Structure 1
Amino acid sequence: MNHKIGKEARCAVIGYGSWATAIAGLLSANEPCVGWYVRNPEVLEGLRTEGRNPRYVSDLEFDRTRIAPSDDLNEVVRNAEILVLATPSAYLKTFLEPLTEPLDDKFIVSAIKGIVPGDYQTVAEYIHDRYNLSYKQIGLFSGPSHAEEVSRGKLSYLTVACTDPENARLIGSKFATDYIRLSYSTDLYGIEYGAILKNIYALAVGIAVGLGYGDNFLAVLIANCAGEMTRFLEESYPAEGRNTQVSAYLGDLLVTCYSVYSRNRRLGLLIGHGCTVKSALNEMTMVAEGYFAAECIRHINFRHKVDMPIAEMVYKVLYERASARRSMKELTLKLI
C-alpha cells in the first residue's frame, strides 16, 4: 500500500487537554478547517460558542470557522486523512473506544509522550498492533514543547519523526509557524522512548528539589539522566546516526526537568516535600505521564536488562513505598 501523504490531506486532533488545544491552534493557523474530537461537553460548548477551551490554555482564541469540534469520533475520523493523537496515554483506549471507522487509509501522528498502561507499549507500538497499521503510516510530533508556551507563541523547536522523510516534511508544513522551528527524524523508537523516559527523570529531579538538594546536585543528576536515557536507547534498539544530544532528546529532557510547567517535576516535588504518592497524585490537576511510565519502563527493561538506577529509584518510591529521602541518598552514591 502507498503510505504517501497528499498535500491536501485534512487533519484532525483527538483530545481536548492543553497539548491538544495548542496543537489545534498550530494546525488551524495553516489549515482551512481542523477536525477535533472533544469528549468533554463543557469544552465542546466553549469551543463552539466562544472559540476557547474553558478548561485548558483558555487564553488561546480560535477562529471558529477553522475548527470543527465534535463529540462524534467516527465523524471526525471519516473527514480527515491525518489524525493527531494528543490525549494522556492512560486515556488513549477510552478516547478510541467508540471507533468503528477503519484506519487503513489514515496517517496517525502521536503527540503523546507516554506509555499505554497495562499494555507496556508506546503509542506507536499500540496503534501498530491494535489497528494493524504499518509503521510507515505512523509518525511522531515531539520535542521540548510545553503547551502553555506553544499556545502563547513562544519560540519552540519541535521534531517530526516518520519512516519516510517526505511524509515528515509534509506533516511539518501543517504545524509550521513563525515561532515553531522544525527538524525531522526517522528514529521513531528513540524519539518516542526518549520522550517517555524524560518524564521519569523529571520526577526524580522534582523529588530531589523537594528534598532540598541544590543546583550543583541537580546538574549532576540530570547529566546522569541523559546518560541513562542514551544507554537504554542504544542497548535496547541501536540506530545508526541517532544523536541524543539534540533537542528532541536532550532538550525535551532538560525542559521537563527544569520548567515550572512540568507536571512530572511537580509530582516529584510534592513527594519530595513529604506527600504520599496517592495524595500527590490527587493534588495534580493534570496527568503526570511519568507515574505510568515508571512502572512500564521497568517491566520493559526486564527484557533488556539495562542498568537504570535513576528510573529504578523512581519506580521504588512510586510503587513500593520506598522512602524518597533514603532512596535519593542511596542514588547519590551511584552517580558520577
Structure 2
Amino acid sequence: MYDCGKIAIIGGGSWATAIAKIVVSHTHHIGWYMRRDDRIEDFRRMGHNPAYLTSVHFNIDEINFDSDLNRIAQQYDTLVFVTPSPYLKSHLKKLKTRIRDKFILTAIKGIVPDENLVCSEYFHQVYDVPYENLACIGGPSHAEEVALERLSYLTVGCADREKAQAFCDVLSSEYIKTKTSTDVVGIEYSSVLKNVYAIAAGICSGLKYGDNFQSVLMANAVQEMNRFLTAVYPLDRNAYDSVYLGDLLVTGYSNFSRNRTFGTMIGKGYSVKSAQIEMEMIAEGYFGTKCMKEINRHCHVNMPILDAVYNILYERIAPQIEIKLLTDSFR
C-alpha cells in the first residue's frame, strides 16, 4: 500500500487552511509554505491563520512553517498546492529543488494563465512530473463549510489509483467522505468551468433573474461542460457525479462562492476592476474565462455560456444585452 509520507501544504488562503486542518488532524504533522514571514509570525502567535478562516485553531507544535519553498520541497514527500492559479508560476519560479519524484496534488480550481494549461499538465510539461505522481482534489467543498466540519465529499484524481486512495485515507473523517477517480484532467477542467458558470449565475442574479431561470442556466451549464470534456479529453465519465455537477451547483448557488459574488456585482453594474477591488479575494473564474475561451478557439466546442461571460468581462458588452441573447438560445 502506498504511503504519502510527510505532507506539506503550499499556500495560505482559505482552502489551504481548510485542507491543512483536515490533514494535520490525521498526521499530526505538516509542513506549511507561506510566502510572507509576517503572516507566519502572526499565525504562530495567534494559533490560527490571521487572514483566512480565523475561527480554525491549530496546534502550532504540529506545523513546520517555512517561507522557503525549496526547504519545504526538500523535506516533504507529498506537496499539496493550494495557491491561486494566477500566482502558481511566480511561486514555482523560486523552486530549484527537483520535484519529479514527489507526489504532487493540486487543489487549485483554476488554470495557469498564459500557458492555458490545467495544473497537472503544467507540472508534467514544465517540471517533468510523471502522471502517476500527479493528483488533484475536486468536489463541492467550500472552505468555510469544511472549517465548520459540515459533511463534504471530496474526490482525489490520479492515474495511479493506489496513490489516490492513500491520500483519500488521509482526508477521510466523520465529516469528509472521499472517493477516487482517474479523470485528473477532466476534474481540473470542470473545476475551471464551474467558476465561469458561477459568474454567469451571479450576473443573472444581479440582473434580477429568478430561481426558475437559474435552474435552466445550471442545466445548460452541465451540458456545456460535458460537451467540452468529451471533446478535449474523451473518457468514460459521468458528468452528473458530485465532482462535476455537485461542484458546479454549490459554486453556482452558494453565498460562500466568490465567483457568484463577483458575477452578482457585475450584474448590478460594477466594472470588473471595481468588483475585484471591493471583493479583496480572487475570483478564479475571471482568469479561467479568458483561458477557456482561448483554449476553445482551437477546440471549437459549442459553449454559449462561456462566450457570454467572456463578452461581458473582456469585451465589455452590457450584461443585459448578452444575457438576453443567451436566454434566447436556451430551451
TM-score band (shorter)? over 0.9
Cα distance in 2, alignment partners of residues 312 and 323 from structure 1: 13
1:60 to partner: Cα distance: 0.4
Residue equivalent to 1:274: 269
**1:325 matched residue in structure 2:** 320
Alignment partners' CA distance in 2, 1:192 and 1:254 = 16
Question: How far apart are residue 104 of structure 1 and its match?
Answer: 2.3
User: Would you say the 8 A contact 2:26–2:170 is kept in 1?
Assistant: yes
- Mapped to 2, the partners of 1:132 and 1:162 lie a distance apart of 16
Give the counterpart of 2:134 among 138, 147, 153.
Answer: 138
1:198-247 Cα distance to aligned partner (Å, 9 max, x none): 0000000000000010110111011100110011111221102x011011
Report the equivalent of 2:298.
Answer: 303
**Aligned counterpart, 1:248:** 243
In the alignment, what sits opposite 2:279? Answer: 284
CA distance in 2, matches of 1:41, 1:219: 45
One-letter code aligned to 1:325: Q
- 1:221 paired with 2:214, answer no
Equivalent residue number for residue 234 of structure 1: 230
> Which whole-Å CA distance do the structure 2 matches of 1:194 and 1:152 have between them?
25
| Structure 2 counterpart of 1:208 | 204
Q: Percent identity?
A: 47
Please say if residues 13 and 36 of structure 1, whose CA atoms lie closer than 8 Å, have aligned partners that are also in contact.
yes
TM-score by length of 2: 0.98
Alpha-carbon distance in structure 2 between the residues aligned to 1:63 and 1:334: 54
Aligned-partner Cα distance in 1 for 2:176–2:28: 19
Residue number in structure 2 paired with 1:87 = 83
Letter aligned with residue 104 of structure 1: R
Q: Deviations over 1:249-304 (max 9, x none)?
A: 00000000000010000110000001111211111221101000111001111111
The correspondence for 1:78, drawn from 63, 74, 85, is: 74
Whether 2:251 is the aligned partner of 1:264: answer no
Deviation at 1:50, TM superposition (A): 2.5
1:51 counterpart residue number: 47
Work out which of the residue numbers 25, 48, 65 in structure 2 matches 1:29.
25
SS for the counterpart of 1:141 is strand
Question: Are the structure 2 counterparts of residues 314 and 31 from structure 1 closer, same or farther at C-alpha, using a change threshold of 3 Å?
Answer: same
Q: Is the 8 A contact 1:157 1:182 kept in 2?
A: yes
Cα distance, 1:8 vs structure 2 = 5.6
Instruction: Trace 1:127-206 onto structure 2 (pairs within 5 A).
Output: 127-206=123-202
- SS of 1:100's equivalent? coil
Q: Distance in 2 between matches of 1:185 and 1:24?
A: 22
Secondary structure of the equivalent of 1:311? helix
User: Structure 1 237/8 Cα, relative in aligned 2: closer, same or farther at 3 Å?
Assistant: closer
Uncovered stretches (5+) of structure 2, i.e. residues with no partner:
none
- TM-score, normalised with respect to structure 1: 0.97
Residue identity in the other structure for 2:63: I
Tell me how far apart the structure 1 counterparts of residues 154 and 2 of structure 2 sit (CA, whole Å).
22
Tell me how large the CA RMSD over aligned residues is: 1.0
Q: CA deviation at 1:42?
A: 3.4
CA contact (8 A) 2:4 2:103 kept: no
The CA deviation string for residues 150-207 of structure 1, in whole angstroms up to 9 with x for no partner, is 1111110000001011110101111111100001100112111001100000000000
Match of 2:118 in 1: 122
User: CA–CA distance in 2 between the matches of 1:7 and 1:51?
Assistant: 29
1:115-142 per-position Cα deviation (integer Å, ceiling 9, x unaligned): 1111111111111111011111100011
SS of the residue aligned with 2:235?
Answer: coil
Deviation beyond 4 Å, 4+ runs, structure 1 = none
Alignment: residue pair count: 331
- The DSSP-based 3-state class of the residue aligned with 1:333 is helix
